[in-house]
Amino acid sequence: MVSPEMQKLAEERAARMKAANELKEPDRVPFSGLGGDIIAAYAGISSYEYNFDFEKNRQAIIKWNTDFPADSPQGGVGGLDNLSLSVAFVDFPDLANSIFMLNGPMNDVLDMKFARFPGRQLDEYSSPQFIGGKNMEPEEYDELIADPQKFAYEKILPRISNNLQDMSSPKALATMARLGMVKAQQAAELMKTGQALAELGFPSGGGFGFGFAPLDYIGDHLRDLPNVVLDIRKYPDKVKAATRSILEVLFKLAMQNQHADTIMFPLHLNEYLSPKLYNEFYWPTLKEFILRLAENGKKSSLFCEGWHDPHLETFLELPAGWGRAMFEKTDVRKAKKILQGHTVIQGGIDVGVVISGTPAKIDEYMKALLGDMMPGGGYICGPNVGNLPRETPIENVAAVYEAIEKYGKY
Amino acid sequence: MVSPEMQKLAQERAARMQAAIELKEPDRVPFTGLGGDIVAAYAGITAYEFEFDFEKNRQAAIKWLKDFPADSPVGGIGGLDNLAMSVAFVDFPDLANQFFMVNGPMNDVLNMKFARFPGRQLDEYSSRQFIGGKNMEPEEYDELIADPVKFSYEKILPRIAGNLADLGSPTSLATMARLGMVKAQQAAEMRKTGAALAELGYPTGGGSTFAFAPLDYIGDHLRDLPNLVLDIRRYPDKVKAAAEAILEVLVKWTLQGKAAGAVQAGFPLHLNEYLSPKLYREFYWPTLKEYILRLREEGMRSRLFCEGWHDAHLDTFLELPAGWGIAAFEKTDVRKAKKVLAGHTCISGGIDVGVVISGTPAEIDEYIKRLLGDMMPGGGFILGPNVGNLPRNTPIENVAAVYEAVEKYGKY
Amino acid sequence: MREQLLKSFVDMDEQEAVKIARELVETDGGAVAVLDTCKEAMEEVGRLFEAGEYFLSELIAAGDMFNQIMEFTLPKLQGEEVASLGTMVLGTVQGDVHNIGKDIFKVMAEASGINVIDIGIDVPHEKFVEAIKEHKPELVGMCCLITLGVDSMKRTIEVIKEAGLRDDIKIIIGGGRVSQAVMEHVGADAWADDAARGVRLSKELLGKE
């Protein structure tokens, strides 16, 4: 059972996040917390154990969130973006979203060509890795445009999953049954983890789902990133038409997350494109996606991988309060200048500083960051990328959390 | 945790069964218990709840077994024989056995044409039912003979599973994923039920798996029974060759159950009473006999439930080595069976459920007394109902009379 | 020819029986002869079954032969007076969806000259009442395979009583799980756990034997 004290803590944390998301000033700057491979290291387990053993994973998460409590819980069973499978099964709303994140045990069943997991294809202390690949020829754009879902099912799945190569084979059907078993077992484990986190005062409910810029689906899963960049020049009309078809499917998929109030978009191709190409090929369908979600009461949260500086102004085309932008390399101070009062900003902590700094330097770094970013509200403090390596000095991690308490009060 | 007292009880019960199977006299006649639709009725729930709600099912089974404890547990989630699917997936030993019994929630996913469940295709107080059907044409015998696994997968599954009609379609793959989810959820529930039964003093481990006479696979799942009996006359060589091909697959499948811990294989015989001794010996028995012998070589015993009348075929058991296993009878008089099989085959059954449904406690007491008096001497007898299912309206005092009589007259 | 037909039919020689029947039916008065001979053959098969010489597979095979032969014989009997022993309403009771036992019985009953009105499987109690009102049968047959059918038969007979129709009809119950005890329990007039016995008792109930 969750104690009244922990229930109160959960309410405070939720209120803090909510205030920032509404562009207001909460009682203290909300902090999304640090995490990644360090969580397994802190619990003394390998990355393999963390990714494959749900009991050890849960204990590691509990230990980390007990010692380093933030406003949202850190850790979980990691996974790799398996969007093609979700697109292929979008007509099965009970399945499409649950098969989106490919974790270790799921990959044991599916054997995806793009996936590498610790203790399997990688050293047991390594991180799970997505390696992409070209799974579609340019001649197939018309097929993709005509029916992205059918195309993903009939053409892409057999190319990316070794165990679904022949869809009508007994092996393919057995693979799906095994996948279902793994998912049901994991759902039971995740409920236990969720309960443990509730007992630590983390808000439950108000989950998030995933969304993707339609062009990223082509770059990450179909044509491979370097090819899509060339396609934009060679077959511009086909690429545009494809993004429009894909938008419909991805929107449907995102809306199937009935309990999600926020849809997270990990942007990928953004930093590869000039503002001209971004505005012509990437942004129109992404923008429409965000607007449609807003119409349906869902906020969006964009993780802008790499440099997003040339594209910052495009957010202003969205209505104020549309959602949140998280930045990796783009300076959050620069983003604040443009987006203050319009878009929630998240990030700011360069994990390089946490890895290589000293507690004193980190204290100073955090003080300066919060001093610049907090005024006016609408800011969530967090790392610029999600993964702290195993060797990160733990006293540096502690220094970040202490600085939040020290300098984060409004 | 299981108390030492209950552990001891479990050992006693297991020993009692084991002694009878080994043709010896235990301390008391082993009794398999009465069950069926009455278990749900006794707990005040519908057949639909009993089949679809695992928590209610478990509570009903626990209540029944507390009040009517026997030497093996009754109740639990039942299912319908889904053998074609196990055959189709026999190359996937982690799955083949799990698919064998199609229960209510599994059928919601698969939509099998042969299955009828309460609260779905039937009234919510009805029993689940297997209705069979013709799923293969006589022209297809050669394909079946050449590769029963491939044939079951490619030809039969799409014809019997509404949601696998188009193998390889998104619906078929989604169906399998859902089936996997249902199975994993049920496995967790089954573990809870198993723990509850252990706490009631029931033996764990040493379980039973399934087996089928090869000809029954053809009759129940492929050609439908009336067609098969005509095929035997019209295409005798094909039927024989098919039974031989099927035997190999089924033995492989049953041994997968052994690998998972089973020590016994239960054969529900179906076509037996349809066949004259001549046809039985020519078409049915050779592969069934070989099946039993092969399992015995692997250390497993068989239990044959001889549906209907088995009188004409009793002496065939004597072709098996003494101690091969158990013959359970429905209509065949167990006394008659004992005359032929004493000292050779363990006999199970004896309680006509018709008597339990329509008799009085006094009549039942007398009935069980006579039955035990005739059947117990010399050992090798397991008392049980002639069919597994007591209907919902069975008078509960009649049920109690059976259990009391077992204690009264069952001691050796 | 009639003798050859009778012998090949009873001996389960399907090809020969069908061949002779096809020849015989084309002769003058042949259709009636085929019908009578096949009925006689079915009766003999039933007798052999009850004697323990034949088993269910022979009943099924005989029924199949009978149907095959009737398919080309009945059209030639149109206009002929075919005697009926009486009418029987037949159904598998509510809650039970099996038909194999009912179907074996039905062919044999028809072959014996009973006019069978088959009202199907999983038949609600009220539907039996409606069928009795509509067809005014002398006999009602209720089948079940599963033990649940016992409760259902009892209830069906109660509903027939409530409708005031019980005294107009005889009731025979059939199926794998019925017995003398079950018959008394549900309040039927006769019971049979096989089709041959069922047909014999049905004819007795119709006062024809």
Domains present along chain C, CATH in parentheses: 2-77 (1.10.1240.10), 86-205 (3.40.50.280)
Checking DSSP bridges between strand C86-92 and strand C139-143, what pairing results, if any? Answer: parallel
> Quick one: what percent of chain A has pLDDT higher than 70?
100
Q: Which long-range contacts (CB under 8 A, 24 or more apart) does A340-344 make?
A: A340/A376, A340/A378, A341/A23, A341/A376, A341/A378, A342/A23, A342/A315, A342/A316, A343/A315, A343/A318, A343/A378, A344/A20, A344/A21, A344/A23, A344/A378, A344/A379, A344/A380
Measure the CA angle with vertex A257, ends A254 and A263; round to 5°: 55
User: How much helix, strand and coil, in percent to the nearest 5, is found in chain C?
Assistant: 60, 15, 30
CA A139 to chain centre: 31
- The domain locations on chain B are 31-204
Residue A200 within a domain: yes
Residues 6+ apart with CB under 8 A from A94: B178
Region B29-58: mean pLDDT is 95
The predicted pLDDT at position C150 comes to 84
Compare CB distances from C181 to B36, B358, B387 and report the shortest one's residue.
B358
Measure the CA angle with vertex B215, ends B211 and B220; round to 5°: 80
The predicted pLDDT at position A295 comes to 96
Region C24-31: mean pLDDT is 90
- Per-residue pLDDT of A86-102, as tens digits, reads 999 999 999 998 899 99
- Per-residue pLDDT of A220-251, as tens digits, reads 999 999 899 999 999 999 999 999 999 999 99
Round to whole Å and give the CA distance between A271 and A16.
31
State the total domains in chain A.
1
The predicted pLDDT at position A175 comes to 98
| Residue B212 distance to chain A (closest CA, Å) | 22
pLDDT at B76 over 90: no
Interface test with C, best of B121, B128, B129 (most C CBs within 10 A): B129
Plot region of B119 (φ>0 → left; ψ -120 to 50 → alpha; else → beta) = left
The predicted pLDDT at position C98 comes to 82
Residue A120 within a domain: yes
Band of residue B207 on the pLDDT scale cut at 50, 70, 90: confident
Residue A89 within a domain: yes
Band of residue C209 on the pLDDT scale cut at 50, 70, 90: low
Segment (H or E) for C139: strand C139-143
Subunit contact A184:B180, Cβ cutoff 8 A:
yes
Contact B51, B119 (CB under 8 A): yes
Segment (H or E) for C118: strand C114-118
Residue A219 within a domain: no
The CB-side HSE value for A393 (13 A sphere, CA atoms) comes to 13
The CB-side HSE value for A97 (13 A sphere, CA atoms) comes to 21
Tokens standing for A171?
């092996």
Region A288-302: mean pLDDT is 97
Summary mean pLDDT of chain B:
95
The predicted pLDDT at position A206 comes to 64
- Per DSSP, the residues of B377-407 read TTS-EEEEESSS---TT--HHHHHHHHHHHH
Interface test with B, best of C8, C147, C152, C157 (most B CBs within 10 A): C147
Region A109-116: mean pLDDT is 96
Checking DSSP bridges between strand B115-116 and strand B129-130, what pairing results, if any? Answer: antiparallel
Considering only CB atoms, which chain C residues are within 8 Å of B279? 55, 57
Residue A228 within a domain: no
- Do chains A and C have 3 or more beta-carbon pairs under 8 angstroms? no
Give the position of tokens 């002639």. Answer: B386
Contact B24, B380 (CB under 8 A): yes
pTM for the model stands at 0.92
Segment (H or E) for A382: strand A379-383
Domain around A82? 38-204
Q: ipTM, 2 decimals? A: 0.93
Region C177-197: mean pLDDT is 90
Helix (H, G, I), strand (E, B) or coil at B297: helix
- Count CB-CB contacts under 10 A for residue C120: 12
Band of residue A204 on the pLDDT scale cut at 50, 70, 90: confident
Band of residue B21 on the pLDDT scale cut at 50, 70, 90: very high
Asked if the C-beta of A179 comes within 8 angstroms of chain B's C-beta atoms, the answer is yes
Q: Strand runs (DSSP E) across B332-380, as ranges?
A: 346-351
- Per-residue pLDDT of B279-303, as tens digits, reads 999 999 999 999 999 999 999 999 9
The CB-side HSE value for A121 (13 A sphere, CA atoms) comes to 16
The predicted pLDDT at position B156 comes to 98
pLDDT at A39 over 70: yes
- Per-residue pLDDT of B218-262, as tens digits, reads 999 999 999 999 999 999 999 999 999 999 999 999 999 999 999
Q: Strand runs (DSSP E) across B284-357, as ranges?
A: 301-306, 325-329, 346-351
Q: Strand runs (DSSP E) across A26-88, as ranges?
A: 80-81
Checking DSSP bridges between strand A323-327 and strand C114-118, what pairing results, if any? Answer: unpaired
- Per-residue pLDDT of B103-122, as tens digits, reads 999 999 999 999 999 999 99
Asked if the C-beta of A191 comes within 8 angstroms of chain B's C-beta atoms, the answer is no
The predicted pLDDT at position C83 comes to 77
Interface test with C, best of B130, B239, B272, B274 (most C CBs within 10 A): B274
Subunit contact B125:C182, Cβ cutoff 8 A:
no
Residue of A nearest to B153 (CA): A170
The predicted pLDDT at position C144 comes to 87
Residue A250 within a domain: no
- Per-residue pLDDT of A308-333, as tens digits, reads 999 999 999 999 999 999 999 999 99
Subunit contact B391:C147, Cβ cutoff 8 A:
yes
Round to whole Å and give the CA distance between B387 and B395.
17
Summary mean pLDDT of chain C:
91
The CB-side HSE value for A409 (13 A sphere, CA atoms) comes to 3
Asked if the C-beta of A147 comes within 8 angstroms of chain B's C-beta atoms, the answer is no
